Chains A and B, each alone.
Chain A
């Protein structure tokens, strides 16, 4: 026999692969605390005359205590204590560039200006998360031991540290997944009941899989963006209450002269820049945001093995 028609012989009529009509997102951490109520939003700086907002903290309503004094003695002045938190807004950006040929052969809708613009929202959210976790190292209080896995003891040490500073209100703990894993391992070996409630459907719907649940009244959020500490040996988690971290952002004014502008997510501006000679299109996303430490003693680092 001869001249059978085999697949392997149809090089000119068959494709090496066809693209599935569904695209999967590459695995990545997409969990962010953007807009989370545990972070204090200082507002929008647009049109305020400065890139920096300053939230004044004053020692009133019980900060200064009265003291006993003799009936006929004169009192003396007490200085009014104050401080401030000042996030400075700066530009955060991301740029893609594609050729016309790449776009016109696209069968999936990926090399598409609108799809890339929409993706910028996720990029801005994750940049915000990285900026928040970068603040952890700046807090002066810490719990945990270098090179030692996170334990329930570290959890309590951090809580007690905030208790000692009279920190009130709900607390949030941001941990690296390694720290969260170690804490779970230690929880399994705890004697007696520990009040852990896994994340509810509502929490997951609102904050995504990064929300792990509540341990003894503290919300736990895991993020791979939590930075390393001690030369890379450890991770730098944080327990904090509302007021420890503040942020501000800005809304862009209408941009004139741009080829095209989209503002997905409200604050994020995506512009398109055309290079006709090169048959190239640039997609540039900008987000103007700043984060800063609010009150230092409202946070406690949790430095444990990476």
Chain B
């Protein structure tokens, strides 16, 4: 008798998700055990930025926070009303990213809004429109469409939903990046090693920030870490 590739009843492959705003849970699907995460609202703090490689170039993009919007968590009331939490965040300088900021053209599944819900065995789990759960042999992992997600983050800047980074923040991050790069340069960097990957990330960060920093011209002392970069090269 031929042995089936998977046991009966155990789903394999991509797990269906639905486009939602915060609201009632849809009928449960029969799914393997995947971690439950609460619904969330995306926020951006003006000091949160990350360097990612887009089309081979390191770029500075907003690092968003998935702030939970569930009763009992962070000032969300017993009815699930997050308005008090939102008010506190806005008061402290955060920017709320509205659901409408993600259009159908922005998302991986071609549906508007950034919040998705997938029914899991122990409750609904929430994730962004650029992620989906995949199940292989009963084990689930969250897969993210990084290029599209990063393109959307760039779009948030282009559409002025998120303000560009303040020069003072760029300078501070540049300082931190240089310290990291200097430390990474002191390690033995074999190609493909963990230390080399950390050095590469530090180099990308410094490169992206230098491109944005008016103070870091090639002649200025601030550009010195470029020499260290050569020392840190994995080639």
Contact = CB atoms under 8 A, between A and B. Distances in A.
Given A88-B78, A135-B68, A290-B73, 10 more contacts: A91-B78, A138-B67, A148-B197, A186-B198, A189-B187, A227-B68, A228-B127, A231-B130, A231-B149, A236-B66
A141 B48 CA distance: 7
A296 interface: yes
A284 interface: no
Contact of B40 (A137, A151, A191, A306): A137
Nearest to A147: B52
Interface in A65-113: 86-92
Contacts of B73: 131, 134-135, 290-292
Nearest to B53: A147
A51 B77 contact: yes
A194 B47 CA distance: 30
Interface in B137-161: 142-146, 149
A291 B130 CA distance: 29
B227 interface: no
Contacts of B128: 231-232
Interface of B: 35-38, 40, 43, 45, 47-48, 50-52, 63-68, 70-78, 84, 89, 92, 94, 127-128, 130-131, 142-146, 149, 176, 180, 183, 186-187, 194-195, 197-198, 201, 205
A296 B77 CA distance: 20
Contacts of A141: 47
Contact of A292 (B74, B78, B127): B74
A271 interface: no
Q: How large is the interface on A (under 10, 10 to 19, 20 to 34, 35 or more residues)?
A: 35 or more
Nearest to B146: A233
A122 to B, nearest CB: 13
Given A134-B68, A228-B127, A296-B92, A140 B45 contact: yes
Q: Output the residue of B47, B48, B73, B89 with the most chain A CB within 10 A.
A: B73
Q: Output the residue of A231, A236, A292, A303 with the most chain B CB within 10 A.
A: A231
A229 B89 CA distance: 18
Interface of A: 51-52, 86-92, 130-131, 134-135, 137-138, 140-142, 145-149, 151, 153, 157, 185-186, 189, 191, 224-225, 227-233, 236, 289-293, 296, 301, 303, 306
Contact of B75 (A88, A131, A149, A303): A88
The 8 closest A-B pairs by CB, nearest first: A90-B71, A90-B72, A134-B68, A232-B131, A137-B65, A232-B142, A232-B144, A90-B78
A138 B85 CA distance: 10
Contacts of B186: 191
Contact of B194 (A137, A189, A293): A189
Given A149-B198, A229-B65, A131 B92 contact: no
Given A86-B75, A137-B40, A232-B127, A153 B146 contact: no
A119 to B, nearest CB: 14
22 contacts: A87-B72, A89-B72, A89-B78, A90-B77, A131-B70, A134-B38, A134-B70, A134-B74, A137-B40, A138-B74, A146-B52, A147-B201, A157-B176, A185-B194, A228-B142, A230-B64, A230-B149, A231-B130, A231-B149, A232-B127, A232-B131, A233-B146
Contacts of A301: 65
A52 B79 CA distance: 13
Contacts of A236: 66
B181 to A, nearest CB: 10
Contact of A229 (B66, B71, B183): B66
